[in-house]
Structure 1
Amino acid sequence: MREFKTAKFKIGQVVRHRLFPFRGVVFDVDPEFANTEEWYEAIPAEVRPARDQPFYHLLAENDDTEYVAYVSEQNLVIDDSGAPIRHPALTEIFDVTTNGYVLKLPIRH
């Protein structure tokens, strides 16, 4: 039986990338890498993350734009800036409350 690591970050949590200038809110988690081989190989070898860790789907943003990002757990940290997420899909996926971002149900892949 395969053992998966417990995800460090939760759906609705705001995180930022450890190396690159973007942040986002988690809307899905894969227990280990589940993207394409081409996507994985496109990451430079010196910064390519291990596959056997949680990977997070983020409604991401930087200073210029909003997008969806797929990021390894090792490259994320908590964003405690308190700044709201401005992603245009935010209210399709989450209810924005005084306690943060709460997933709307049901969400289907």
Structure 2
Amino acid sequence: MMPQGVPWQLGLLLLVVPVQYFLTTWKPTSDLERRDTIHQLAWKFESWRANTFNAVTWKKWFQQKYNQIVYFLEGRTQPIYGDDDEGESPAVEVLDYLDKNGHFAGSSEPRIKRPSNVKFRVGQVIKHKVRGYRGIIIGWDETAKAPEDWFRQMHPADKPHWKKMPNYSILVDTRDISAALITYVPQENIEVISNTRILHPQIDDYFEMYDGTRYLARPWLKHIYPHDQ
């Protein structure tokens, strides 16, 4: 018996060919731009395929899309929930805090100076030393900025120094955690890895492309972190 979902994947793969032909024939751009457009199309398809067929069940996928539509129509930011009770995953609504006092590296104030104690940069691919998940850095704070109730819930009592060190917002690879999560991680818990692409539905919101070693920030993100590029 053919595995569930395979017919859909085959159909979509067949659809790529005429789409590619249309882009190369009718899109009025240079050869370089055409190749970049096709590359982005393939990358978005792979990200969608992995998220839909591998990372979550059909029920979760449908619920996620339904919630996105509802939140969009209501003009609200969709909250992200975690299921980790050992710290650093956003078990409370992280996104609801992003525009409040710059929590979770959400401040749009440009980092004019890059502190010497900030070890990592926006766009670098990292791995969590304890949990093992992979992700991309999308922002940092020289010291942790989050609501006190979040600290009480997510930081162990024996780790008070976590608040005083640089903390990083991370887009988590959906192949490692079966949800589109953003985590906020103390510097001592992450390490840079190489030759690794990340799957997450919000990557294109922050980055233009992957250059083989790191993700290149979009202009708005470069403006906030001018010394990270």
* TM-score, structure 2 as length reference: 0.42
Where do 1:2-21 residues align within 5 Å? 5-21=116-132
> Is the radius of gyration larger for structure 1 or structure 2?
2
Could you say which structure has the greater relative contact order, defined with CA pairs below 8 angstroms and 6 or more residues apart? 1
Q: State how 1:19-38 maps to structure 2 within 5 Å.
A: 19-38=130-149
Structure 1 CA distance for aligned equivalents of residues 125 and 211 of structure 2: 14
Equivalent residue, structure 1, for 2:156 = 44
Return the offset for 1:58: 0.8
Shift of 1:47: 4.8
Unpaired runs of 5+ residues, structure 1, are none
Of the structure 1 ranges 15-24 and 91-100, higher mean CA displacement relative to structure 2 is found in 91-100
Percent same amino acid among aligned pairs? Answer: 23
1:26-75 deviation digits (Å, cap 9, x = unpaired): 01110101011111111222455521110001111224233111001011
Structure 1 or 2: more helix by fraction: 2
Q: Name the structure 2 match of 1:89.
A: 202
Q: Which runs of 5+ in 2 are unaligned?
A: 1-114, 225-229
Scaled by the length of structure 1, the TM-score of the pair is: 0.82
Give the Cα separation in 2 of the matches to 1:51 and 1:57.
14
Would the aligned equivalents of 1:5 and 1:54 in 2 still touch at CA under 8 Å? no
Q: Aligned AA for 1:16?
A: K
Distance 2:152 2:162 in 1: 12
The answer to whether the Cα contact below 8 Å between 1:5 and 1:53 also exists between their aligned partners in 2 is: no
Q: What is residue 58 of structure 1 aligned with on the other side?
A: 170
Give the conservation status (yes or no) of the 8 Å contact 2:197–2:210.
no
Question: Using a 3 Å threshold, how does the CA distance of structure 1 residues 48 and 22 change in structure 2: closer, same or farther?
Answer: farther
CA distance in 2, matches of 1:94, 1:106: 10
Q: 1:22 to 1:97 in 2, by over 3 A?
A: closer
Q: What is the number of equivalent residue pairs in this alignment?
A: 105
1:6, CA displacement in angstroms?
2.3
Please tell me the root mean square deviation across aligned C-alpha atoms, in Å.
Answer: 2.1
Q: Which one has a larger percent strand, Structure 1 or Structure 2? A: 1
Partner of 1:71: 185
